[in-house]
Amino acid sequence: MTPRFCCLARSTTEVLPNVPTLLQYSPRMADLVQSIGRAQVVLNGEPEKVANTLLDAGVARVYVGEAALLDSATVSRLFKRFGAARVGLHVPVQRQAVSWSFETESNADFRVVTPSLCEPVWEVLRANGDASGVRAQPWLEEMVHRGVQSVLLRADIRDDIDLNLCAGMVEALGDALWLAPLHDPAPAIADWINFGQVTQVALPTLLYHRRDEWLPP
């Protein structure tokens, strides 16, 4: 299957004509909302009222960020007013850190060092980059069960563990999932496709212009 690509633009000046584009929100956008047309807008820490304003103005879809993490009912309210097809989720993630502790309850004669995680997981990040403690995959599976049709997941995939987590997310969310880099300026997109099983990729504008380099032969 040939992967699908879309452009993840930082401003209206980067929006390419006749190209599927996700536009990252900025406060200045409130004055330019009429020029956005049918673009799709990606929110970070903005409140629900910003999503309402953009959708009222005719934006095709809004990807809600931290507001949905803090209150999942945000998505339900937007669904009720605008329909599920116009509301997505923007979810930045990172590998959850493992902490270690002594376990002494089961046998007082032994002190067993136990990890906080039995297996690697991605956790959702707050808009400021702080860890939230929310494990990404079960939360997203629940949100898709509630009716979310599109998820923009942003991750920096560093190794085979991340690729396995990516493949698991693709299997769980299917066509609802779009994957984009979080901070990495030179992500290994070919590995995302070949080993992470990614089929839908959102790329910053400069990388989008090079998308053909990562297509399978």
Rg, C-alpha atoms of the chain: 19
Query: Does 184 reside within a domain?
Result: yes
Q: Alpha carbon of 20 to those of 43, 60, 84, 91, 208: distances in Å?
A: 17, 11, 19, 19, 11
Nearest CA among 63, 52, 68 for reference residue 22: 63
Query: Does 107 reside within a domain?
Result: no
What is the bridge-based pairing of β-strands 122-125 and 87-95? antiparallel
pLDDT of the chain along its 217 residues, tens only?
689 999 999 988 888 778 889 999 987 766 666 556 567 999 999 999 999 999 998 889 999 999 999 999 999 999 999 999 999 999 999 999 865 455 555 555 555 444 445 689 999 999 999 999 999 999 999 999 999 999 999 999 999 999 999 999 999 999 999 999 999 999 999 999 999 999 999 999 999 999 988 776 6
User: Total domain count for the chain?
Assistant: 1
Query: Does 106 reside within a domain?
Result: no
Query: Does 159 reside within a domain?
Result: yes
Query: Does 32 reside within a domain?
Result: yes
151 lies in which domain range? 4-94+122-214
**pLDDT of the residue at 106:** 52
What single-letter DSSP state applies at residue 209? T
CB atoms under 10 Å from CB of 157, counted, come to 23
CATH of the domain at 52: 3.20.20.70
Query: Does 99 reside within a domain?
Result: no
**pLDDT of the residue at 2:** 83
Q: Which two tokens stand for residue 138?
A: 């079960």
Residue in the structure block whose two tokens are 């879309």: 6
Amino acid, single-letter form, for residue 49? K
- How far is 123 from 181, CA to CA, in rounded Å? 15
Query: Does 112 reside within a domain?
Result: no
Can you give the pTM of this predicted structure? 0.88
Q: Which two tokens stand for residue 141?
A: 């599976």
**pLDDT of the residue at 39:** 72
